[in-house]
Amino acid sequence: MELYIALLRGVNVNGKNKLNMQVLHQSLEQAGYNEVQTYIQSGNILFKSAEINVDYLQKALQELIFSQFKLSVPVVVLTNEQLSKILIENPFLSDLSVNVKGLYYCLLQQYPQNSSQCLKNILESKDNFIITGKTVYLLVQNGYGNTKLNNNFFEKKLNVTATTRNHQTLQKLLEMSQNFR
């Protein structure tokens, strides 16, 4: 069985898309997912499955959440190796003066098409981003809530589905995955 990390987009944010993680945990186990663990209320799930197709898992989890909770919630699924690689390859971490509180990861469901063309001359900002594969690495100066380089921005510009997490959350998920039962 493979270990996966599922990241749900936009649950339990500002009173919208309310989803009880304990009830979701039970639903996932009833659906046949193994060793399910959740982390905080923003939709971070670790689980094991015999399924090896990540795209299938993303779709299956979205359908399960819709059928049981009537919520249309995009899901990004990563393997433990993918999560580790995303954190290790963060280009902003090579600068030792970077404040990790300003690091965010916009994780894409699909590979973006023509990302450099779509994002040319987008806006003047103190914030910075680098797109590598299905990850947008963000470095924001005044907090994620104050940047225009947010999840919605990248979804619209890149025409993809995405979810964003801060550095601390991804670090904790990696730690949990490395200590997984």
Which residues of the chain are modeled with pLDDT < 50? 121
Q: Which domains does the chain have, with CATH numbers?
A: 2-80 (3.30.70.1280), 87-178 (3.30.70)
pLDDT for res 96: 81
pTM (predicted TM-score): 0.91
Structure tokens at 160: 């993809």
Structure tokens at 64: 């399960």
Q: What is the Cα–Cα distance from 137 to 139, expressed in whole angstroms?
A: 7
Give pLDDT tens digits for 108-120: 999 987 666 556 5
pLDDT for res 142: 86
Q: What is the Cα–Cα distance from 77 to 35, expressed in whole angstroms?
A: 16
21 in Cβ contact with 11 (< 8 Å): no
pLDDT for res 143: 87
pLDDT for res 121: 47
Furthest-apart CA atoms within the chain: distance in Å: 49
pLDDT for res 76: 96
pLDDT for res 179: 86
